[in-house]
Amino acid sequence: MLTQLSRLKLAFFNRPRYQRILVYLTIIYLSYLIALGLVLPKAIVAFAPEKISQVLGRPVSLQGMHINPFNYRVNINQLAVKEKNNQDFAGLAQLQFEVHFWQSVFNQALVIDHIQLQAPFANISRFQTPGGTQFNFDDIITTLNQAKTPSESDTNTEQSRPLRIILGELNVSAAKFKFDDKITKALIDYPNINFKLSQLDTEYLMLPNPASVAKTSSTKNAVTNKATPVTTAANTTPATSAANATTTIVHNQFVAQLQDAHAGEVSLAGQFQLFPFKLVGDVQLAKLKLAPLWQFVADQFNVKLGTGELSIKAHYQVDLPEQGELQLTAERGQVIVEKVNLLNGDQSVITLPLLAVDGINVNLAKQRINIKQIHSEGLSLKAKLDEQGIDLVPLLMPKSMATTSSTATAPEASEAIVANPTTSQAVADNSATENANGWLVTLDGLSIENYDIQLEEQKLSKTAQQWRVYPLDFATQTIVSDLKAPIEYQLSFGLNDKGHFVSKGQVDVLGQAISANLKVEQLAVAQFQPYLEPYVNMQLKSGLFSSDGELHADGKGKAIYQGSVELDDLNILDNIRKAPLVKWQKMHINQLDFDQQQNQIKIDHLRFEKPYAKVVIAKDRTTNISNLIVEQQAINASNAVEQTAQTSTNAVAPSKTAPKQPELSLDIQKISFNQGSAFFADNSLTPNFASGIEQLEGHISHLSSKPNTKASVDIKGKIDRYAPVTLKGDINPLLDKPYLDLDLVFKSVELTSVNPYSGTYAGYYIDKGQLSLALNYRLEQNQLKGSNHLVIDQLKLGKRSNSDLATSLPVTLAIALLQDRHGVIDLGMEVSGDVDSPSFSVGSIIMTAITNVITKAVTAPFSFLAGLIGSDETLDKIPFNAGQFTLTSREQASLDKLAKGLGDRPMLQLSLEGSVNAVNDSQVIAERMMKRKLAALANMQPTELPADLSPSQFPSQGPLANALIKLYEQEVKANPEDVKANIASETKDTPLSNEELTTRWHIALYNLSVKAQTVSQGMLGDLAQERAKSVKAYLVDSKGIAPERIFLLESRVSLNQDAAQVNMSIEAK
């Protein structure tokens, strides 16, 4: 054997030199192939996992490794690092890379054709231990730190440029990453991660203004398509690489896609250089679920995030010069948050379908952020307000912040505010200064649409009140963070579907000023009733408030509002009596000017359509007005005093001399009424009294609180539909010493309507009569002077009443003395008084004057008659009894005197014109018509009716009583028993006997049947003409006056309705 080897060795050395060299090279090459292709992979697979495991302190496994010694391609398969419990921690399915050896040598750089990682993964977890919070890789870091030797370059501060690396492509596919936070129960899982880096050159220099990566290639195509390495890049020096770049080669371009377990996706694409560092790219987050991320902070909030998605995209550029500061810019950024649902338990409290921030541009060097628009729509918010505040505050506030806030005391905050009254202004100034030297944010527009805010209020009202603000729309124009320019805005929202609010204007934040148009449309005031209940005994049944005007206000106390105000269909009920108190169809102010600083209110025209008011005096003589205010408990008042005193003690006045607030200045150009009415009832009387004023119309002009101004009053109406009432004159109740000069006139008021008063105080009921009253009052310097003209026509008393309050004066004698032969009582009285006197009362001084006149009449009747009857007598009018056209002896006596005068003056001619008193004559004609119908129903002739038949003298039973009931049913078309039931109901507190009840029932049926009769104008015209004929016939036939001296004027064409008489005028022949 040795001999054979020796022969081979000898033969080898005997070969030519070049052959021996070839053999040596072949042996070396084969050894290289065997070592690199077979031995080294086997050795690494056998020994590397153990060595790595010792370094990391973790189990490490490697399934296989292959090295191609020809092209230096390396494959590593199934490399895994385990947890100590043998669970997967990190690893990869396959790692492949190929190194260009000779290019690396020639370019003095590490040139790699490609690197491919298949299915790399990492499982990171965080957990709580007795020693604190730890990650599942903390033990690896600890092991590495312990293994580090002091000789390693911890203290080496010398910086050297790293080796240049040229890489054709780095491709990571099907990577997985999972982070399991066992503390917060949060889980972040990206089961599919792909990354691609093309044409890496660590010394490549980018162009100054690189094009957007998004424009050069599609993200998905860039991830999936493999790029061919550019070997010429290895020969390009750093200085010339940028200049020689072509549009077909893009260096250092990367694309990444991360897809999470919830269909969310993160996409990155860009280009970079390392020295100096520069990064340009696009980032996009699509439909990233927020609920898994919320778990990281869920324990800090009482609210839970049910759903939510986040989408972000932007183009960015990062520069880090070798000598300079970090530069960052972002363009075309967009952030979209949608489908957000915040839960309190299982109940949704906030939902947000969409919040989009669009057109975001950021420049770190210039410290500028520009945002094109913020848009949000469909927010739905549900909250509750009670004594503890709004329930959403503790839900949305982090628990750590709530704990910190609870340690601060309110008195300290109050003292800080009081101690520095200019805090708000100082903050505004500081904000302006900081914005001038720092970041500036510009928002081109803010848009909010269809917000829905639902609030359950339990703090100010006894019962829970539901309020809904929907749809809430809000928009602004440009907003700059320095707040130097005013912000233009538009705001509109509905309130409980019972009113709409619109505002458009601008707000100056630094100047603390607002200038805006405010518009309120059809706001139902009834929904505020629960907040009035603790204070007033009335119910806002209905009412619609509207206003349209301009508001100008600032933080210095300026507040000016100019516009119109309407309050329509108002109906306020008396809660105690459940009856209307005040109502109107329409209240309109065409122009309202309010100035808070001047404490001034100006109104051009205040107009009321169909206003109505009701005043009721109860049996205890209290009124429905006096009971409106709810009496508060004394303890509430004392608490309020204590709180006020405490506040006064703690408060520190910002200045010793506060500016004096001017007195309120009120100026109303005109107040008008149209088709108004009022109702008055006095239930303290027996029987009860009720009356109304209808057809109330008129105006009050130039009402002002300015000195030396007077308002003119002109108001008219009718009492109980027929009797006119007028009020005219001048007033000014707004002065310190009010002024008035008024004339109040009542004409032909039916005295039967005041039977409760006459029965109670005079002791008699009234069967017939009318009252006319003319009052004039002047109030100046608190001194009242007035004159009263009282006329009672055709007064006829009925039966006595049994009132304990009746006067002791002989009423029948007084009427007989005061009433002239025409049935008229005419009294004139002067009154005066000092309104500063504690005992002053207008009613008392009037009653005193009337009492004095009556007392004088009944105590000295002959002296009183001498004063009333003069030697002169007016003969130009011949009065007639109501409804009559025949002359009585009294009228004939007057005509006798007139005939004597005409006989003494033969050249005089007399013209006669008949007239009527529309109210009185109509009343008698109507009563006569009623009596005819009554007689017919009773089967008797009208002449058979009792002569003294009247409401109070009506038979309680018999044919006439039955006929009256039938007549009421026939004429009024109503059930007479309802009238009787109403009377019984009104007097239930003081029950009546059957006789008294029947009497009052017949009085009511009688009067209502009379009112139901219709008297035409033709009837009144014929009556007037017949009166004129009666006068002429008497003068011609009885007194011998020539008929040619007496002329009858046509009374029916233009009927005079002022009085029941014949007006005469004398003319020469």
- For 887-936, the pLDDT digits (tens) are 988 888 777 777 776 676 566 677 888 998 888 888 888 888 888 888 88
Q: Which pLDDT does position 734 carry in this prediction?
A: 67
Q: Is the pLDDT of residue 218 over 50?
A: no
Which tokens sit at 83?
Answer: 């947890």
Tokens, residue 717 = 């109406």
> pLDDT tier at 757 (50, 70, 90 boundaries)?
low
Structure tokens at 888: 């009585």
pLDDT surpassing 50 at residue 621: yes
How do residues 344-397 score in pLDDT, each as one tens digit? 988 999 999 999 999 999 999 899 999 999 999 999 999 999 988 898 888 888
Q: Which of 152-161, 225-234, 475-484, 957-966 has the largest mean confidence?
A: 475-484
The pLDDT of 268-273, averaged and rounded, is: 94
Mean pLDDT within 15-23: 82
CA-nearest of 433, 408, 430 to 420 is 430
At residue 883, the pLDDT reads: 86
CA proximity to 537, closest of 583, 578, 569: 578
Domain assignments of the chain as residue spans, ordered by start: 301-399+433-485, 698-870, 877-1068
**H-helix or E-strand spanning residue 423:** helix 423-437
What mean pLDDT do residues 64-69 have? 90
Task: For residue 985, give the amino acid letter.
Answer: S
Average pLDDT over residues 70-75: 89
Q: Which residues contact 251 (CB under 8 A, 6 or more apart)?
A: 198, 199, 200, 201, 204, 206, 233, 241, 245, 271
864 band by pLDDT with thresholds 50, 70 and 90 = very low
1012: which strand partners?
none
pLDDT in tens, 160-208: 668 889 999 999 999 999 999 998 889 999 999 999 999 999 988 888 7
Residues 6+ apart with CB under 8 A from 759: 685, 686, 687, 765, 801, 803
User: Averaging pLDDT over each range in 298-302, 990-994, 1056-1060, which range is the top one?
Assistant: 298-302
- Which band of pLDDT confidence, cut at 50, 70 and 90, is reported for residue 804? confident
pLDDT of residue 952: 77
In 812-933, DSSP assigns E strands to 824-834, 877-879, 908-917
Q: Which two tokens stand for residue 141?
A: 């870091």
Nearest-angstrom CA–CA distance, 1011 and 971: 9
User: Three-class SS of residue 938?
Assistant: coil
What is the C-alpha separation between 1010 and 971, in angstroms, rounded?
9
Q: Give the model confidence (pLDDT) of 566-592 as tens digits.
A: 999 999 988 777 788 899 999 999 999
Distance of CA 31 to the CA centre of its chain: 92
640 pLDDT more than 60: no
Q: With bands split at pLDDT 50, 70 and 90, how would you rate the model's confidence at 618?
A: confident
Angle of helix 861-868 versus helix 811-818 axis, rounded to 10: 20
662: amino acid identity, one letter: P
CA-to-CA distance for 224 and 65, rounded, in angstroms?
A: 25
- Contacts for 493 with CB less than 8 Å, ≥ 6 apart: 451, 469, 470, 471, 472, 473, 500, 501
Q: Which residues lie closer than 8 Å to 319 by C-beta, 6 or more apart?
A: 276, 277, 278, 279, 326, 327, 328
Report percent pLDDT > 70 for the chain.
80
**Cα(744)–Cα(445) distance, integer angstroms:** 64
Q: Exposed (0-12), middle (13-18) or buried (19+): which is 814, by Cβ within 10 Å? A: buried
Radius of gyration (C-alpha) of the chain in whole angstroms: 54
Question: Burial code of 1032-1048, b = ≥16 C-beta within 10 A, e = fewer?
Answer: bebbbeeeebeeebbee
pLDDT surpassing 70 at residue 284: yes
Cα 65 from Cα 235, distance rounded (Å): 32
Q: Give the three-class secondary structure for 918.
A: helix
Question: For residue 259, what pLDDT band results from cuts at 50, 70 and 90?
Answer: very high
pLDDT in tens, 30-39: 887 888 888 8
**Averaged pLDDT, 114-139:** 92
Q: What is the pLDDT of residue 691?
A: 72
Model pTM? 0.68
For residues 818-822, average pLDDT? 60
Distances in Å between the Cα of 893 and the Cα atoms of 142, 897, 990, 1025 are: 140, 7, 51, 21
pLDDT in tens, 390-437: 988 888 888 877 666 555 544 444 444 444 444 445 545 555 555 556
Integer angstrom CA distances of residue 1054 from 338, 371, 391, 913: 83, 83, 78, 10
Which tokens go with 6?
């020796």
CATH fold of 877-1068 reads: 60s Ribosomal Protein L30; Chain: A; (3.30.1330)
The DSSP result for 657-677, as a single string, is: SPPPPPPPEEEEEEEEEEEEE
Give per-residue pLDDT as tens, 1002-1034: 888 888 888 888 888 888 888 888 889 998 899
Q: 704-708, 847-851, 874-878: which has the highest mean pLDDT?
A: 704-708
Residue 456 in this model has a pLDDT that exceeds 80 = yes
- Of 35-39, 600-604, 630-634, 763-767, give the lowest mean pLDDT range: 630-634
Both ends of the chain: CA-CA distance in Å? 192
Indicate the pLDDT class of residue 875, thresholds 50, 70 and 90: low
What's the pLDDT at 986? 82
State how far the Cα of 895 lies from the Cα of 214, in Å rounded to an integer. 120
Task: Return contacts of 867-876, CB within 8 angstroms, 24+ apart.
Answer: 868/820, 873/897, 875/901, 875/1064, 876/1063, 876/1064, 876/1065
Asked if pLDDT for residue 82 goes beyond 80, the answer is yes
Is pLDDT of 237 > 60? Answer: no
pLDDT at residue 556 in the model: 87
The mean per-residue pLDDT over the stretch 286-314 comes to 91
Q: Give residue 635's pLDDT band: very low, low, confident or very high (50, 70, 90).
A: very low
Instruction: Report the chain's mean pLDDT, rounded to a whole number.
Output: 80
pLDDT of residue 153 exceeding 80 = no
Instruction: Assess contact for 567 and 543: CB atoms under 8 A.
Output: yes
Q: Is the pLDDT of residue 472 over 80?
A: yes
